[in-house]
Chains A and B, each alone.
Chain A
């Protein structure tokens, strides 16, 4: 009887600890400005110790255009609010279109989206549609209205492929797409 009670207390405590760990993990891997994951999540969850991918799928690099101009004209407060709105827009779009994804804010205005359930054409089409539909959206901060767009590049990655290599290729593709 006494053992059962102890066991129950232990299980309850264990669950409590588990939930706290989960919460902590969420906190650690969350970006401080947006609702997305942060770059630590990539290194700890997406990559092996030698910084190669531990799964396969598609990685999309997204850069918000003219973000630096906005920062120069306004300030980082406005810039951060806009980053949050853009990431909310992208998350909302992908949810609406039932795209299973992971979204990460890698640095400044550069986001990565990981998609595992689609083929290359579907990824390209989904991102193109998200890009174009965002041109219809008006982002607002107080009395200011912004039209924001992003450039994107898509790369397939496979298990054991080097993250930095995929990153370089994505940067090159982004540059070419912009040019």
Chain B
């Protein structure tokens, strides 16, 4: 049967197989170039031209991925043998596959029976080496790093270090996981102190080593190591976690205890809980009253606080899920639900509410667009105060100010949370156009200490001089409340006055729409 090309440009690369007698289309062919650039024409299983186009785009995507993989292995690293060396043992490779990616490494590690140690070794600031000296030097540095590790293990063995610690035979694999990351997979159950000794020796060896970059020049580099001792497939993941932790704390080495693997189910529950709350739309705003100092009976406005429900309908606090939701990249979906529900309360009851946003949220276009859309559409900007949390993370003051002014044009007010703690300082309030400052709870809780009282009093005075109103949180008892009023704080918030609860309960406690700022 003949093939004819489709004239519509949208279907470029797709051709029809048709019956000459009646012109009926009986199938589809796609044309593309393979990974080596050779033209290929092949029949695809498709019912119509759109299906065929979809198949073509999938084929092209796979080729692109293959090309990327090929480019990585040719420019960044050399092909690595699956088992590089063994010190004294003569084990066979566990899996006879070419080791190219994380999945293959994972297979080898998972196939090992018994306890093993997985260490991930990462070259500090490897990007700089690539940028300053070029990719070829980068590849050479990784090779030299591998040789250094092999040499060190051999040296330790010949010095009798392993036998001294009752390790008569041991074998290891060394993989180049990707770019500058190496995986040292020791197939033995070492004492943690022996592992510490290996790492210490290795780090010293690396930092003292002259890494050759040209015939007459060398540089010094440092490495970060994340390790774990475990049985089974989770060990590589735990070594990754350890490495991530080491990097974030700028430590050279973190060992992740293997018992963690047994507890992982609890963390996984959090993921399931998050997904369920997103699907079932059970993100639940709680509200805590903020009271004027002169009147602690009826809230001036309410702070909205996010809660989610577990499988038994029990309320979970942010400490349980907030960080995890960010790790799993599910936070935006939770926050969008939160915004919808908080705005519903504001619209229905004319209640003045504060909504917490972090710098990360302000950077999130989807969230900000949603918020602005709601503020404009529902015309309730005057009821809303945006409370900027974790303001120490603000990098781009201009961007935040732009966001603040766009809100202020719609009547929204701005507050800074946890003022006085860590880096949430005067510099922030000088540079941002804000209406309220919330004094940090950890400082307020120590208000009876003379030094803290003086500091808080000064903070309140400076804020007042700048035309900013102050809120004291953590009003835990009558004495803290009296002291806060005494130093001139404008508004009060805390368990002594009101515990966070769902809107229905708030309505019962204070009566519908009692906030007076709207």
Contacts and interface: CB of A to CB of B under 8 A. Distances in A.
Same assembly: yes
Contacts of B323: 136
Interface stretch (A45-53, A127-135, A156-164): A127-135
A132 B263 contact: no
A146 interface: yes
A146 B238 CA distance: 11
B320 interface: yes
Given A138-B245, A145-B254, A133 B263 contact: no
Nearest to A82: B257
A177 interface: no
B259 A146 contact: yes
The residue in B192, B253, B255, B259 that gathers the most chain A C-beta atoms within 10 A of its C-beta is B259
B62 interface: no
B253 A143 contact: yes
Contacts of A132: 266, 269-270, 316, 320
Given A73-B192, A129-B316, A135 B255 contact: no
Given A97-B317, A129-B319, A145-B242, A66 B259 contact: yes
A70 B245 contact: no
Nearest to A137: B319
Contacts of A148: 263
A179 interface: no
A149 interface: yes
Given A70-B259, A146-B259, A147-B260, A129 B254 contact: no
B34 interface: no
Contact of A143 (B254, B317, B476): B254
Interface in B483-518: 494-495
A96 B196 CA distance: 36
A58 to B, nearest CB: 16
B462 interface: no
Contacts of A73: 192, 257, 259
Interface residues of A, number: 26
B428 to A, nearest CB: 23
A74 B191 CA distance: 9
Given A129-B320, A138-B245, A70 B257 contact: yes
B377 interface: no
A125 B251 CA distance: 36
B237 to A, nearest CB: 13
Interface in A58-105: 65-66, 69-70, 73-74, 93, 96-98
Contacts of A143: 196, 199, 251, 253-255
A62 to B, nearest CB: 15
Given A93-B319, A147-B259, A147-B260, A128 B314 contact: yes
B266 A135 contact: yes
B227 to A, nearest CB: 9
B451 interface: no
A144 interface: yes
A65 B255 CA distance: 19
A146 B241 CA distance: 11
A171 B476 CA distance: 34
B315 A125 contact: yes
Given A73-B192, A98-B495, A144 B257 contact: yes
Interface string B6-22: 00000000000000000
Contacts of A144: 192, 254-257
B513 to A, nearest CB: 27
A97 B495 CA distance: 9
Contact of B314 (A66, A125, A133, A149): A125
Contact of A145 (B199, B255, B269): B255
Interface in B239-283: 241-242, 245, 251, 253-257, 259-260, 262-264, 266-267, 269-270
Nearest to B261: A147
A100 to B, nearest CB: 9
A146 B260 contact: yes
Nearest to B252: A143
Interface in A110-158: 124-125, 128-129, 132-133, 135-136, 138, 143-149
The residue in A70, A138, A143, A144 that gathers the most chain B C-beta atoms within 10 A of its C-beta is A143
Contact of B263 (A93, A96, A97, A135): A135
A174 B474 CA distance: 33
B268 to A, nearest CB: 10
B408 interface: no
Nearest to B262: A66
Contact of B257 (A125, A128, A129, A145): A145
B324 interface: yes
Contacts of B259: 66, 69-70, 73, 146-147
Nearest to A124: B314
A133 B266 CA distance: 10
B257 A147 contact: yes
A147 B267 CA distance: 10
Nearest to A148: B263
Given A66-B259, A74-B192, A144-B255, A135 B267 contact: yes
A136 B324 CA distance: 8
Contacts of B474: 98
Interface in B264-321: 264, 266-267, 269-270, 310, 314-317, 319-320
Nearest to B273: A132
A151 to B, nearest CB: 11
Interface in B55-98: none
Given A73-B192, A128-B314, A146-B257, A136 B320 contact: yes
Given A125-B315, A132-B270, 4 more contacts: A74-B192, A132-B269, A135-B270, A136-B270
Question: Lowest 8 A-B CB distances belong to which pairs?
Answer: A133-B319, A147-B260, A132-B320, A98-B495, A135-B266, A146-B257, A129-B317, A133-B320
15 contacts: A66-B262, A73-B192, A125-B314, A125-B315, A129-B317, A129-B319, A129-B320, A132-B269, A135-B263, A144-B192, A145-B245, A145-B260, A146-B260, A147-B264, A147-B267
